């Protein structure tokens, strides 16, 4: 079977199984099997594929049909123009999360960067890689996650990008700093938090994320359980630090309730809502 015939056949199979972007998925997966880029597929559409590679390709297509993302199947995803290792134990990086990186890179006067629920470490790694040497040396970097399996991927990505300065720590939200308060004393802090913010019903209604770790997605009846805990914990720590700027990713339907949670703990906090390209509320910055 030729490249063209195989792509047509398997694209149709993906389409018939209601898989998003079937042709794109088929191209990426075939490129992975052949270890060639998309240009090769377009340049040599009549090149024959060996039976062994055809079988391997069809197995990957079947994984996609059963809900595995293309990124997890091929083992990596690009985020902020950087390549990140991903697997079933971490959330696949989304383009809208790049907004957090953009926002942090506008800030120049801070001492500590804390990335909560770091997962693949795409946020903190992208920030580090785009800072100048002086800021890289000045700032202390912490990637926190409750999952050891996720932290293993974080560390692999740190090695991939030749970064030694990020401290990856197992921690349930701010637990590590509640036990090591001296690290925050008199510091200007930035926290990035792409915490779980979906309900079980939202996960059920989104087939594209069924194979992603529930631990990184689900957060109680309204999707805000983790953020409630975060701001309660920060309230205990706030007498220590000079300032704290927090960037939180949310679902657009949660803006009102999220603001109420913040104001309940910090009545004087300055909040700013940042929309994604689809004009949905996506990131909220909180200055406390």
Clarify whether residues 100 and 22 are in a common domain. Answer: no
Band of residue 207 on the pLDDT scale cut at 50, 70, 90: low
* Residue 148 maps to a domain: yes
* Residue 242 maps to a domain: yes
Q: Is pLDDT at 216 greater than 80 in this prediction? A: no
* Residue 156 maps to a domain: yes
Clarify whether residues 243 and 147 are in a common domain. Answer: yes
Clarify whether residues 54 and 129 are in a common domain. Answer: no
Clarify whether residues 102 and 227 are in a common domain. Answer: yes
Q: Is pLDDT at 217 greater than 80 in this prediction? A: no
Band of residue 210 on the pLDDT scale cut at 50, 70, 90: low
* Residue 108 maps to a domain: yes
As a whole number of angstroms, the distance between CA 232 and CA 162 comes to 35
- Contact assessment for residue 247 and residue 190, using Cβ atoms and an 8 Å cutoff: yes
Clarify whether residues 185 and 269 are in a common domain. Answer: yes
Give the residue numbers spanning the domain of 240: 89-287
Clarify whether residues 157 and 191 are in a common domain. Answer: yes
Could you report the per-residue pLDDT of 105-132, keeping only the tens digit for each?
Answer: 999 889 999 999 999 999 999 999 999 9
As a whole number of angstroms, the distance between CA 31 and CA 6 comes to 12
Q: CB-hemisphere CA count at 13 Å for 82? A: 23
Clarify whether residues 141 and 173 are in a common domain. Answer: yes
As a whole number of angstroms, the distance between CA 177 and CA 184 comes to 8
* Residue 84 maps to a domain: no
Clarify whether residues 189 and 46 are in a common domain. Answer: no
What CATH number did the domain enclosing 126 receive?
3.40.50.150
Q: Is the dihedral of CA 78, 82, 86, 91 positive or negative?
A: negative
User: What is the full DSSP assignment across 42-72?
Assistant: HH-TT-B--HHHHHHHHHHHHHHHTT--HHH
* Residue 247 maps to a domain: yes
> Taking the model in full, what pTM does it have?
0.91
Residue 201, pLDDT score: 74
* Residue 178 maps to a domain: yes
Please tell me the total count of domains within the chain: 2
- Contact assessment for residue 145 and residue 119, using Cβ atoms and an 8 Å cutoff: yes
- 163 to each of 90, 92, 103, 137, 160, how far by Cα in Å? 20, 21, 21, 12, 8
What average pLDDT does the structure give for the chain? 93
Q: What are phi and psi of 74, to 5 degrees?
A: -90, -15
Structure tokens given for 167 = 């401290």
Clarify whether residues 107 and 187 are in a common domain. Answer: yes
Residue 260, pLDDT score: 93
- 38 to each of 35, 45, 163, how far by Cα in Å? 10, 11, 31
Band of residue 197 on the pLDDT scale cut at 50, 70, 90: confident
Lowest-confidence pick of 70-84, 117-131, 191-205: 191-205
Q: Is pLDDT at 204 greater than 80 in this prediction? A: no
105-119: burial string, b at 16+ Cβ within 10 Å, e else = eeeeebbbbbbbbbb
Residue 52, pLDDT score: 96
Could you report the per-residue pLDDT of 249-283, keeping only the tens digit for each?
Answer: 998 888 999 999 999 988 889 999 999 999 999 99
- Residue where a domain terminates, one of 66, 81, 98: 66
Q: Is pLDDT at 209 greater than 90 in this prediction? A: no
Clarify whether residues 47 and 102 are in a common domain. Answer: no
Other beta carbons within 10 angstroms of residue 137's beta carbon come to: 9
Give all strands of the β-sheet with 140-145 in edge-to-edge order: 166-170, 140-145, 112-116, 188-193, 243-249, 281-287, 270-275
* Residue 251 maps to a domain: yes
Band of residue 9 on the pLDDT scale cut at 50, 70, 90: very high
Residue 252, pLDDT score: 86
CA 63 to chain centre: 21
Clarify whether residues 47 and 155 are in a common domain. Answer: no
Element (H, E) at 201: helix 200-204
Clarify whether residues 165 and 257 are in a common domain. Answer: yes
Q: CB-hemisphere CA count at 13 Å for 194? A: 22
As a whole number of angstroms, the distance between CA 32 and CA 27 comes to 9
């Amino acid at each position: 079977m030729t490249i063209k015939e195989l792509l047509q056949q398997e694209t149709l199979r993906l389409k018939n199984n209601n898989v998003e972007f079937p042709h794109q998925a088929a191209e990426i997966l075939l490129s992975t099997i052949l270890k060639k880029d998309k240009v090769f597929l377009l340049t040599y559409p009549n090149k024959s594929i060996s039976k062994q590679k055809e079988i391997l390709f069809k197995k990957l297509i079947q994984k996609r049909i059963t809900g595995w993302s293309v990124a997890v199947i091929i083992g990596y995803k690009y985020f902020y123009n950087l390549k990140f290792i991903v697997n079933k134990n971490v959330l696949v990086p989304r383009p809208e999360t790049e907004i957090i990186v953009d926002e942090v890179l506008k800030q120049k006067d801070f001492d500590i960067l804390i990335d909560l629920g770091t997962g693949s470490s795409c946020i903190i790694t992208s920030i580090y890689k785009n800072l100048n040497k002086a800021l890289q040396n000045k700032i202390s970097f912490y990637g926190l996650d409750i999952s050891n399996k996720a932290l293993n991927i974080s560390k692999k990505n740190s090695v991939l990008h030749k970064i030694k300065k990020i401290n990856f720590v197992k921690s349930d939200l701010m637990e590590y700093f509640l036990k090591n308060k001296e690290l925050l004393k008199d510091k200007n802090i930035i926290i990035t938090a792409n915490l779980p913010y979906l309900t079980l019903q939202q996960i059920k209604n989104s087939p594209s994320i069924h194979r992603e770790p529930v631990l990184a997605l689900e957060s109680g009846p309204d999707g805000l359980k983790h953020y409630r805990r975060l701001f309660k914990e920060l309230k205990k720590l706030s007498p220590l630090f000079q300032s704290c700027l927090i960037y939180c990713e949310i679902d657009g339907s949660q803006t009102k309730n999220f603001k109420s949670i913040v104001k309940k703990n910090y009545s004087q906090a300055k909040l700013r809502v940042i929309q994604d390209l689809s004009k949905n509320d996506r990131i909220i910055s909180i200055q406390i």
